[in-house]
Amino acid sequence: MPRHADPGLERRVLDAAQVLWRSGGDKRLSMRVLARAARTNTPAIYRRFESRQGILRALLLRLRHELYEVVRTSASLEEGLERYLDFALARPQEYQLYHAHYHELLGETRAAKKAEEFGPTFLWAQSKLAERVRGNDEQHLRLTLALWGVAHGTAMLLISRSIPDHLTEELRSACREAIASLVREAGSR
């Protein structure tokens, strides 16, 4: 009797992989442990995903989409960057793993030249910026990179607890002010 494809297998595998990934990074993500957590067996996983790297890639794409969905409904660039920070702080392990493996697992180079290579959240920010300030694509790219650097740096400082707890809100406030200042300055040129 032929096997019937399990329509929920991919989702179960990715859900289980995400839980394992959150709790221990990619080191916890063995195929045997994953199969047990997803209530299946390793051959079934390999029929759906070509390798462990394929599972990590699917997790990264899922996380990139989730981040984009959180940010894209923002009314402003500032609100979007605030939501970006909230997302990073709510899911610190995934956020760090995402940025540690993003280019490696998605097959993109670290020397990305086009904004599209940074993903949909970056493109959203660049588009919001273009609505607010004049300039060409290269200027928008550079400023969006600067804004992302401020937001990502703030997220990493907060996640790593590199600053005293009583300065957490001060750092977030400074991040908001720096972003607003950069956007204002670009708009006045």
CA-based torsion, 153, 154, 158, 164: positive or negative: positive
CA 172 to chain CA centroid, nearest Å: 19
Residue 118: the pLDDT is 79
> Would the pLDDT of 112 be above 60?
no
Greater model confidence, 102 or 49:
49
Residue 4: the pLDDT is 57
Residue type, 167: L
- Dist CA 145 CA 122 (whole Å): 8
Render pLDDT for 136-177 as a digit per residue (tens, 0 to 9): 777 888 899 999 999 999 999 999 999 999 999 999 999 999
Residue 116: the pLDDT is 63
According to DSSP H, which parts of 25-161 are helical? Answer: 31-37, 42-48, 52-72, 77-90, 92-106, 120-132, 137-160
> In the CATH hierarchy, which fold is given to the domain comprising 1-49?
Arc Repressor Mutant, subunit A (1.10.10)
**What is the value of pTM for the model shown?**
0.83
CA 74 to chain CA centroid, nearest Å: 16
